[in-house]
Structure 1
C-alpha cells in the first residue's frame, strides 16, 4: 500500500490518509480482508505521529470500511459499492455547496454558476 502525504496541503494529514485508502478500496487495489500496515509502521514510514494514523484508521472503521482486531491488525471489510457511491455523491454535494456559496458571495448569478458546471461537465 502506498500513501503519499503532502505536508503543505490544507487538508489534514489524517484526511489525506483516509482519502488515499478509500481510493485504493474504490479501485480494488485494496480488497476484502487485506491488512493495513500497523499504526506504528505506517507512522514511521510517513514520519508522522502514530496518533494521526490512529485517527485515520478510526475514521475508516467508523465509516464501515475497516475492522480493527486487537493484537491482529486493521483489515478491509467487504466493500459495498452502493455505500461507496453514496459517499462519493455526498462529497460531491459538499464541494458543490461550497462552490455555490462562494459564487453567491462574489455576486455570481445562478445562471453563471449553472453554465460553469455544464462547461466543466463537458470536459
Structure 2
C-alpha cells in the first residue's frame, strides 16, 4: 500500500500556510518565526526604519529559505517529548517549537539508571 505524507508549515501569527522561516535577533537573543510570504514582507517593512538607523555588528547576510519538512522520525520524537512533558507537568503547547529546557529534561529522563555495583567475594572477605 502506498502512502503520501503531507507536511505543512504553518504561519506562527495567523495559522495560515507559511512560506518561509524568518530568523531575527533582539537583545542578544536569536529567534525564528514561520511566516507566510505576506506576513514576512510586513515584518520586514515594520523593521525597515529601525534597521536603517541601526549599526550592523557582524554576521553574514543570509538568504531566507523555507525550512525543511520534519522527517517521520522527528515527528514521532516530538510527539513522544510532548506526551512525556504533559505527563510530567511541563507547560507545553500542542504545536510549535518545543522549548530547549523540555527537550533537555526529556533526554535526561531517557538515560538508563546507573546499575548497582555488586560486591565481589574478595571485597566481602576483606571486611
- Could you say whether these structures have the same fold, taking a TM-score greater than 0.5 normalized by the shorter chain as the test? no
Larger radius of gyration: 2
TM-score by length of 2: 0.26
Which one has a larger percent strand, Structure 1 or Structure 2? 2
TM-score by length of 1: 0.27
Which one has a larger percent helix, Structure 1 or Structure 2? 1
